[in-house]
Amino acid sequence: MVRNNIKLLRNEAGITQEQFAKELRITRQTVIAIENHRYNPSLELALKIAKFFNKQVEDIFFLEEDKSSAT
């Protein structure tokens, strides 16, 4: 499962979901879905998010291993 730390980064930057959405030209509902791990952004949007926070994509998005499939 793909996870992210966008909510943490956004809160650290002191910006609202609405401000973040406006900067990225997406809806607030999309921000909510991404932050709640219900929607994985396109590569283009992931790159825009990384650029916004001046981070690498890998610093924002990461794979969470499914513990039930571990051997």
Residue 43's pLDDT is what?
A: 97
User: What domains, with CATH codes, occur in the chain?
Assistant: 2-56 (1.10.260.40)
* Token pair in block for residue 70: 């571990």
Q: Which pLDDT band, with edges at 50, 70 and 90, does 66 fall under?
A: low
* Token pair in block for residue 58: 């890998």
Q: Kindly tell me if the per-residue pLDDT of 65 is higher than 90.
A: no
Q: Which DSSP symbol is given to 71?
A: -
Residue 64's pLDDT is what?
A: 87
Q: Kindly tell me if the per-residue pLDDT of 19 is higher than 80.
A: yes
User: Could you please report the per-residue DSSP string of 1-70?
Assistant: -EEE-HHHHHHHHT--HHHHHHHHT--HHHHHHHHTTS-PPPHHHHHHHHHHHT--HHHHEEEPP-GGG-
Residue 8's pLDDT is what?
A: 98
Residue 68's pLDDT is what?
A: 62
